Amino acid sequence: MKVLLKSGDILELEENSPAYEAAKKIGMGLYKSACAVRINGEAQDLRAELREDDKIEFLTFEDKGGRHAYNHTAAHVFAQAVKRLYPAAKLAIGPAVKDGFYYDVDVEKPFTSDELVKLESEMKKIIKENLPIERFELSERDALALMEEQGEIYKAELIKEHSGKGEKISFYKQGEFTDLCAGPHLMSTGALKAIKLTQATGAYWRGDARNAMLCRVYGLAFPKQSLLDEHLAMLEEAKKRDHRKLGKELELFAFMEAGPGLPFFLPKGMVLRNALLEFWRKKHVEAGYDEIATPIILNRTLWENSGHWEHYKDNMYTTTVEDQEFALKPMNCPGSLLIFNNKLRSYRDLPVRMAELGTVHRREASGTLHGLLRVRSFTQDDAHIYVTREQIKGEIKGVVNLIDEFYRTFGFEYHVELSTRPENSMGSDEDWEAATSGLRESLDELGLNYVTNEGDGAFYGPKIDFHIEDSLGRTWQCGTVQLDFQMPQRFGANYIGADGEKYRPVMLHRVVLGSIERFIGILTEHFAGAFPVWLAPVQVRVLPISEKFLDYARSVEEKLRAAGIRAETDERGEKIGYKIREAQMQKIPYFVLVGEKEQGEGNISVRRRNSQETAAYSVSEFIAQVREAVESRKISD
């Protein structure tokens, strides 16, 4: 039989050969490194049988699908180790995640660090045993009976929840251990090489505080010990850069018991935030956007019309006012459409670009909250662009170029992903095809490399996502462009064409930074709190050598402030060495030292935060240097 490879080459194999035989035939290097295979677009085990004309693509640890299979296998090895050492434990879920896996376990008391060491040791034994991993299927009835017989109450609950479809349910077996799982997995436990259990925390079953508290164990898995060591070193560096820690030390933001998941921005944090938004506004004016603001709370009728009430209600905060239901907005788009419809539009008006720094609220489970990176209230740098069908590609290119300019300003590399129609979507096949083609053709014409995520679009349209890479090599999804034929139709949006007839505009949803709060969290970790001069809450700290020179220090600060530079004087009666260390810990870009010599000559001595050298400047020379760094938005000092 013949199968088609991703490269376009045709490979001949024996009838019904397993996928790993195809990998062997291509080369032993691929056979050893392959973790899974994608057959006709679906990720499967390497033991999966191939059929005539199948399209196949092998997935290694470097691929998202391959890494998923690798990490998921490690999760099963962990669960097997748990059942060996703690037979009474009940297993919940154990998914692969981006950088490893976690497994939720119901045990009498949470695992200690010593117990994690024992579990890790048992995992290594299982890996050494090189147990074959086999997939099998059972009917719903038999699957439920098996899990109930084993006392796995959480697995049984999952099966009951999805019963009634008449579909077979898949399991994976390795040695004496069997787990409910859709796969795919590696071919044996011995294919795992380097593993590490990192921490144990608490997690409610299904993320619901009304359910049992489980013990969640996180782990890592890599094909080489050197890769694991590099990742652990990165995690240590990430701890030092944790925006929650730096936010407290640098007095940027805080979280209070009065509002879980709702950030409080402190004065210095507001300076940073406003500098960022000032840049955002400048660039949007240059790009032809008009800024708008829409109400934070709107009635149920609006959200039913937009489709959010049906598709997103569980994530919305609702209330009743005078017997009418309202919701805090989780998204800004419906309000933008109301403004578009507020007056009659002509084809000459299009494209209409409306930008909004809109604060939204979403009901996030408490267990998912994480500093500024996952909050319940945040501000999106939203924009909605209304175009004719002929303008789609031109506007998408304009958005992509704007996003590129922003990310280059902060020194971010990024990659692009195209997400297509999900199962739970609204709209016609024709509209979805037109929208998806518009995004794909725009990316192709721009010459951008991108990955396609089938079925991962928004419920109202396909999207392009931009994933930035920070200084530690971590990626974050920030910018997005979504093409929407549905919302304008639901809201009856129209414009008058050249022939005097009414036409429906196409709506582009887009963000550049995403959530302002989240982006500030990312920037804090990316720069380790040492923000570029133009963003730094305090750009210059003036340090008098002693109290004798305090008046001169104040006069220098006054000149700096008059020039628009954010400066402050350390007026404490501490020794100069202590003041310098304090300024360094606050990651202030410039320290200005003034003493007898500086006062006598009417100049200043300047030290940069990343240098031990001090240089003499006139105040005017220094002002020019700082202003040049601010205006050019230099990334480094």
What mean pLDDT is predicted for residues 297-307? 89
Q: Let me know whether 105 and 157 are in one domain.
A: yes
Which DSSP string corresponds to 576-610? Answer: HHHHHHHHHHTT-SEEEEE-HHHHHHT-EEEEETT
Q: Which of 473, 491, 526 is the last residue of a domain?
A: 526
Q: What percent of the chain has pLDDT over 90?
A: 69
Domain with residue 36: its CATH number is: 3.10.20.30
* 337 within a domain of the structure (yes/no): yes
pLDDT at 637: 66
Asked if pLDDT for residue 427 goes beyond 80, the answer is: no
| pLDDT tens per residue across span 382-403 | 999 999 989 998 999 999 999 9
What mean pLDDT is predicted for residues 444-464? 83
511 band by pLDDT with thresholds 50, 70 and 90: very high
pLDDT at 474: 85
User: Are 216 and 205 within 8 A, CB to CB?
Assistant: no
Q: Let me know whether 422 and 273 are in one domain.
A: yes
What type of residue is 189? T
* 599 within a domain of the structure (yes/no): yes
Token reading at 202: 């608490």
Pairing of strands 177-180, 194-204: unpaired
C-alpha pair distances (Å), 397 with each of 132, 284, 391, 431, 444: 50, 15, 10, 20, 10
Asked if pLDDT for residue 2 goes beyond 90, the answer is: no
| pLDDT tens per residue across span 564-592 | 999 999 999 889 999 999 999 999 999 99
Domain that holds residue 548: 540-631
* 322 within a domain of the structure (yes/no): no
| pLDDT tens per residue across span 81-99 | 999 999 999 999 999 998 8
Q: Which of 60, 82, 97 is the last residue of a domain?
A: 60
Asked if pLDDT for residue 106 goes beyond 90, the answer is: yes
Q: Let me know whether 268 and 391 are in one domain.
A: yes
C-alpha pair distances (Å), 361 with each of 262, 332, 377: 9, 10, 4
Domain with residue 616: its CATH number is: 3.40.50.800
Distance CA(375)–CA(515), nearest Å, equals: 10
* 149 within a domain of the structure (yes/no): yes
What type of residue is 62? E
User: pTM of this prediction?
Assistant: 0.81
Give me the residues paired with residue 414 across strands: 468
Q: Let me know whether 447 and 511 are in one domain.
A: yes
What mean pLDDT is predicted for residues 298-327? 88
- Of 55, 48, 44, 41, nearest in space to 3 by CA: 55
* 308 within a domain of the structure (yes/no): no
Q: Let me know whether 205 and 284 are in one domain.
A: no
Q: Let me know whether 443 and 367 are in one domain.
A: yes
Distance CA(94)–CA(152), nearest Å, equals: 13
Range of weakest confidence among 472-476, 531-535, 585-589? 472-476
* 323 within a domain of the structure (yes/no): no
Asked if pLDDT for residue 164 goes beyond 80, the answer is: no
Asked if pLDDT for residue 552 goes beyond 80, the answer is: yes
pLDDT at 253: 95
Q: Let me know whether 45 and 140 are in one domain.
A: no
Domain with residue 153: its CATH number is: 3.30.980.10
Distance CA(462)–CA(420), nearest Å, equals: 5
Q: Let me know whether 462 and 348 are in one domain.
A: yes
Q: Let me know whether 423 and 489 are in one domain.
A: yes
Distance CA(382)–CA(277), nearest Å, equals: 12
Q: What percent of the chain has pLDDT over 70?
A: 100
Domain count, the chain: 4
Range of weakest confidence among 58-62, 95-99, 345-349? 95-99
* 310 within a domain of the structure (yes/no): no
Helix, coil or strand: residue 119: helix
Query: Which residues are catalytic, by number?
Result: 333, 362, 380, 382, 384, 463, 509
Q: Which of 469, 495, 526 is the last residue of a domain?
A: 526
Asked if pLDDT for residue 217 goes beyond 70, the answer is: yes
CA angle 300, 462, 413 (to 5 degrees): 115
* 307 within a domain of the structure (yes/no): no
Give me the residues paired with residue 453 across strands: 419
Q: Let me know whether 370 and 516 are in one domain.
A: yes
pLDDT at 196: 96
Q: Let me know whether 448 and 587 are in one domain.
A: no
Residue 298 CB partners (closer than 8 Å, separation 6+): 326, 327, 329, 334, 335
What type of residue is 382? D
Asked if pLDDT for residue 15 goes beyond 90, the answer is: no
Q: Let me know whether 405 and 549 are in one domain.
A: no
| pLDDT tens per residue across span 356-373 | 999 999 988 777 788 898
